[in-house]
Structure 1
Amino acid sequence: MKAAILKRLGTPLAIEAIPDPVPGTGEVIVDVVATPVLSYAQEVFGGERRYPIELPIVPGCGAIGRVRTVGPDATQLRPGDWVFCDPTVRSRDDALMPDIVLQGWSSRGDGGKRLQRYFHDGPFAERLRVPTENAVRIGDIDGADAARWCALNTLLVPYGGLLASDLRAGEILLVSGATGNFGSACVAVGLAIGARCVVAPGRNQQALADLKRRFGERVRTVALTGDEAGDRKRMQEAAPGPIDCVIDLMPPSVSATTVRAAVMAVRPYGRVVLMGGVGMLGGAGLELPYPWIMRNDITLRGKWMYPKEAVTLMTGLIRCGLLDLGHFDVRVFALDDANEAVVHAAVNGGPFRMTVIAP
């Protein structure tokens, strides 16, 4: 089969023929129809993000495809089924603390490295081998729509945070990082699952106006100034009532004070979920006052990615019309043009924009 291979950091992907993947027990082979190119892929492939990946590797993170071959343990999957290939691979030998990797993308810890050595190659290829549980059926779709279904890759990340927050229909949500790729997707998902209102702070006036245009009065935008106390007050005043839940999706480049302004806008007895990158590039971490957390009975938790059932639940939101994939603008590249796709993704990222490779 044909694949795009990263052989050395800082060099272009090599488009070459490699052996087809061979399934083992508990594994599925999928024909890749569409796979997203993350906006920061160029930084990963160039070594700027210092991801712990072992080369050479067929990269990529998530895909839409059709089942080609199933193993003997598959009881529901059939050849030809349309599936989302979930890149979040979990080890199977520790239910309480599984090691987790993003297949074809990244790992963490010694256990993650061992897991990545086995589920190594990603979907920048004509075929992909995944654990049986990671080939999640999405129902019949038109093949022409496969690229747009790659939006699952983006939508599922904030959805994982919202599930962790126990956001309920009728509550008020604040999305810290609302003008970014994951943040704008969080606004859409929060509204789809019934948020009364989503407070959307940000500095990008054009992106804020676009959120308002797309979603109307249920989105309350707030222009950030950099004054922590002032910004917090404006967020609280923009909401039609006390803010029940805050989810942070800010990238590592954003200051801790900007994140704290949003986090501490939550009401007493409210919930905060952290999914962003504060402190990951050095600098100050997120410092929150102990008395504020304790006396206000704040629930604070971190969340990375999403639970297994999220793909099926998200598919349901799309199928019933609560979440519209038509929000996403998609540019599709052939596998032979994978390097051009990586460059395009780097300069064309942002809310509701996707670059996709169609092997």
Structure 2
Amino acid sequence: MKAAILRDFGSPLVIEDIADPKLGTGEVIVDVVAAPVLSYANEVFSGARQYLLPTPVVPGCGAIGRVREVGPDATRLKIGDWVFCDPTVRSRDNALMPDITLQGWSARGDGGKKLQQYFRDGPFAERFRVPTENAIPIGNLEPTNAGHWCAINTLLIAYGGLLAMDFKAGETLLVSGATGNFGSATILTALAMGARAVIAPGRNTHILSDLTRRFGERVIPVHLTGDPVADGSALMQASPAPIDAVLDFLPPSVPASVARTAIMAVRPYGRAVLMGGVGMLGGEDLALPYPWIMRNNISILGQWMYRPEAVTGMVGLIRSGLLDLSHYALTEFPLEKANEAVIHAAANPGPFKLTTVRPTP
């Protein structure tokens, strides 16, 4: 089969024939129809992000495809089923604290690296092997629609944060980092889940205007000035109701004070979920006031990725028509042009832009 191989960090992907993956118990072989190319893939492949990803490797992070082979323990999956290949592979020998690797992309800790030794190659190939539980049925598709379904790779992370905070229909959400990929995906998902309103702070007026154009008056933009006192007041004044929850997706380049201002706009008994990168490049600590957290009964939770059942819920939102994947502008490349796809994804970041490779027509 053909695959795009990262031989060494800093080298372009090489397209060549490699052996087909071999099926084992607890595994599924999937024919990859479309795989997303993340906007920062060039930073991963160059080594700039220093991800735990041994080379040579077939990279990629998540895919849409069709089941080719199933193991003897699969009771529901059938050959030909359309599936989302969840890149979040969890160890099976510790249900309380599973180790995690992102197949074809990265790993977390020593346990994740050990898991990665087996579930290593990703979906930039005609076929790849995934754990049975990671091949999740999504219903019948027209092959031409497979690329748009790759958007759930991003949407699931946003949905994971909303599930973690137990977000409910009718609530008001503040998305810290609303103008980024994950922040905009959170807005789309929260509205599909029945949010009363979504507060969208940011400095990029063009993106803020686009969000209100797309979603109407339920999205309330707030232009940030950098003054914590003024911005905190503006966030609360803009909201039509007390802010029930905050989901933070701010990148590492943003100072902790911006995240702190957004979190402290939440109402008493409110919740905040942290999923961004604040502090990963150094700088000040988040430093939330202990008395404010305690006396106002504030719940603060960290969340990485999403619970396994999130995929089924996301598929339900899409199939019901509540969440429209057509918001994403799609650009597709054949596998042979994987390097061009990486360049295109880097040059076209931002909300509702999607680049994919299509190993199988």
Specify the SS of the correspondent of 1:28: strand
Match of 1:110 in 2: 110
Question: Structure 1 residue 10 and structure 2 residue 5: aligned?
Answer: no
- Corresponding residue for residue 200 of structure 2: 200
Match of 1:49 in 2: 49
Task: Give the Cα separation in 1 of the matches to 2:59 and 2:330.
Answer: 20
- Structure 2 match to 1:243: 243
- The residue identity in structure 2 corresponding to 1:294 is M
TM-score (norm 2): 0.99
Write the deviation string for residues 280-332 of structure 1: whole angstroms up to 9, x where unpaired.
12222311111111111100000011111111111010011100001000000
Q: What is the TM-score normalised by the length of structure 1?
A: 0.99
Match of 1:257 in 2: 257
Query: Counterparts of 1:1-359 in structure 2 under 5 Å?
Result: 1-359=1-359
2: CA distance, partners of 1:60 / 1:232: 39
- Where 2:117 maps in the other structure, the secondary structure is helix
The amino acid of 1:349's aligned partner reads P
**Alignment gaps of 5+ in structure 1:** none
Displacement of 1:52 after TM fit?
1.2
One-letter amino acid matched to 1:56: P
Measured after TM superposition, the shift of residue 215 of structure 1 is: 0.4
Residue 184 of structure 1: how far off its partner (Å): 0.2
**Equivalent residues, number:** 359
Q: Report deviation, 1:132.
A: 0.1
Secondary structure at the residue paired with 2:116? helix
CA RMSD of aligned residues (A): 0.6
Q: CA deviation at 1:108?
A: 1.2
Deviations 1:17-52 (A, max 9, x none): 110000100000000000000001000111111111
1:118 partner SS: coil
Q: Deviations over 1:66-91 (max 9, x none)?
A: 00000000000000000000000000
Structure 2 segments unaligned to the other structure (5+ residues): none
Please report how far the alpha carbon of residue 228 of structure 1 lies from its aligned counterpart in structure 2 after TM superposition.
1.1
3-state secondary structure, aligned to 2:97 = coil
The aligned amino acid for 2:257 is T
Provide the secondary structure at the position in 2 that maps to 1:222: strand
Q: Which amino acid aligns with 2:159?
A: Y
CA distance in 2 between counterparts of 1:15 and 1:196 reads 48
Query: Aligned with 2:174: secondary structure?
Result: strand
Q: Distance in 1 between matches of 2:285 and 2:80?
A: 47
Letter in 2 for 1:236: M
Give the whole-Å Cα distance in 1 for the aligned partners of 2:200 and 2:138: 30
Residues of 1 paired with 2:357 and 2:182: CA distance?
20
Q: Give runs of ≥4 in structure 1 deviating > 6 Å.
A: none
Deviation of 1:196 after TM superposition, in Å, equals: 0.3
Please state how far the C-alpha of 1:12 moved relative to its aligned partner: 0.4
Q: Map Cα deviations across residues 238-279 of structure 1 (whole Å, 9 max, x no partner).
A: 100110000001111111111111111101110000000011
Q: Which of 29-38 and 251-260 deviates more?
A: 251-260
**For 2:285 and 2:180, how far apart are their aligned partners in 1?**
20
Alpha-carbon distance in structure 1 between the residues aligned to 2:227 and 2:309: 40
Write the letter of the residue equivalent to 1:244.
D
How far does the alpha carbon of each residue in 1:145-188 deviate from its partner, in whole angstroms, 9 at most, with x for none?
00000011010001000000111111100000111001000000
